Copies of this chain bind each other. A is one copy, B any other.
Amino acid sequence: MKAAEILNQYKLKRTSCREGIIDVVKSSNQALSENQIRERLAGNYDRTTFYRSFKTLVEHKIIHKIIVDNQFVKYALDNTITKKDNHAHFYCNECQTVKCMDAIPVKQYHLPDGYSDEETEVLIKGTCASCKEQE
């Protein structure tokens, strides 16, 4: 599905910034930070526009946010778009990249009485295969 179609489907206006973000995120096999997305984007947008575009896309669950420790906010296409189950994220301590582990569904937890579960986030930290090779 193309970026333009996704936006139409969610009744969002097709602006070049939004389309650009979706395209970049969609074509990447790992989660990207705001700066990484900006670098790969043709247009030169204001930071405010960027934030507002991210906010809109996250609110409509087109992309999702992943946070690693502090100061590392990354984005990836949401499950509603990829049509995959809720998956775990992997953060490589060496190359500092985040990958969506599509093949690893999030395990569910049994909460104490009275609690209700809406969403579960799993971040596995370690060393990825390609960094491991180089050791």
| Contact surface of A with B, Cβ cutoff 8 Å | 65, 67, 69-70, 73, 88, 90, 93, 101, 103-104, 107, 109-130, 132-133
User: What is the oligomeric copy number?
Assistant: 2
Give the residue of B65, B104, B121 whose beta carbon is less than 8 angstroms from that of A109: B104
Residues of B with C-beta under 8 A to A107: 107, 109
Residues of B with C-beta under 8 A to A128: 114-115
**Among A115, A127, A128: residue with most chain B CB under 10 A:** A115
Q: State the 9 A-B residue pairs at the shortest beta-carbon distance, nearest first.
A: A114-B129, A118-B126, A107-B107, A121-B123, A117-B126, A119-B125, A116-B126, A116-B127, A120-B124
- The distance in angstroms between the C-alpha atoms of A119 and B110, with both chains bound, is 21
Q: Which residue of B lies closest to A132 (CB)?
A: B114
Given A109-B122, A121-B123, are A132 and B116 also a contact pair (CB < 8 Å)? yes
Given A67-B70, A69-B67, A109-B88, are A121 and B125 also a contact pair (CB < 8 Å)? yes
Residues of B with C-beta under 8 A to A119: 124-126
A124 and B111 contacting across the interface, CB-CB below 8 Å: yes
Query: What's the least CB distance linking A76 to chain B, in Å?
Result: 15
B125 and A118 contacting across the interface, CB-CB below 8 Å: yes
